[in-house]
Amino acid sequence: MSADDLGMAQAPRRASVRLMFAHPAHVLALGAGSGLSPIAPGTVGTLWGWVSFLVIQQALVHSLSGPLLDVAWALILAVGWLVGCWACTRTAQAMRVADPGAVVFDEIWAFWLVLWVMSPVDVVGQVLAFVAFRFFDAVKPGPVGWADRLFKPVPGQPIGWGQGVGIMFDDLVAAACTLFVLALAVVVRQGGVTAGVLG
């Protein structure tokens, strides 16, 4: 029996402060502790994503502007995706669960994406984005549910990179659905599609 098979045969491990500080990947995947919340860790992780986006954005605008600010965020998100897949994989393996609820970097990264695409947007817009994203991430309707099931391992299959990608991927789809719904709401509020085309 391989080490991976042995890990799958063992009981799942609970998220804890000790587990989080056992490896840098766990600190990232558990959202610097936000994923340790006993209540709604996904929501708490998204809130941490919101706060951290505002902090990073404020730091970036002091030295960058215009296209350079967008380039910086594109790089952050690209590197974040790769590092997130690694961190989520390693933490899922350590916890012996394919998609642990305590792993929240996927929510953090996806909400960064939503806020970046929407920027600049006021607090009301950010709140609406938060509510919409939490709906799609928690309820997983339609394409989000499909994305969530896509990388699930079959019973007996060791947890691997596919599961780390899957943890990130369904939140990417939830972010895309959030942006689509909010864009559609803006179009409707402004008089509908024909107003934009004919006006």
**Mean pLDDT in runs of 10 for the chain (199 residues)?**
49 93 97 96 98 96 87 97 97 94 98 95 94 97 94 85 94 98 87 46
- Which H helix or E strand runs over 129? helix 123-139
- Which pLDDT score, from 0 to 100, does residue 170 have? 96
- Which H helix or E strand runs over 153? none
- Which H helix or E strand runs over 170? helix 161-189
Q: Quick count: other Cβ atoms within 10 Å of Cβ 21? A: 12
Q: Are 115 and 121 in contact (CB under 8 A)?
A: yes
Q: Which of 92, 122, 119 is nearest to 106 (CA)?
A: 92
Distance of CA 159 to the CA centre of its chain: 19
- Which pLDDT score, from 0 to 100, does residue 9 have? 57
What CA–CA distance (Å, rounded) separates 15 from 26? 9
- Which pLDDT score, from 0 to 100, does residue 52 have? 97
What CA–CA distance (Å, rounded) separates 115 from 170? 17
The whole model's pTM is what? 0.89
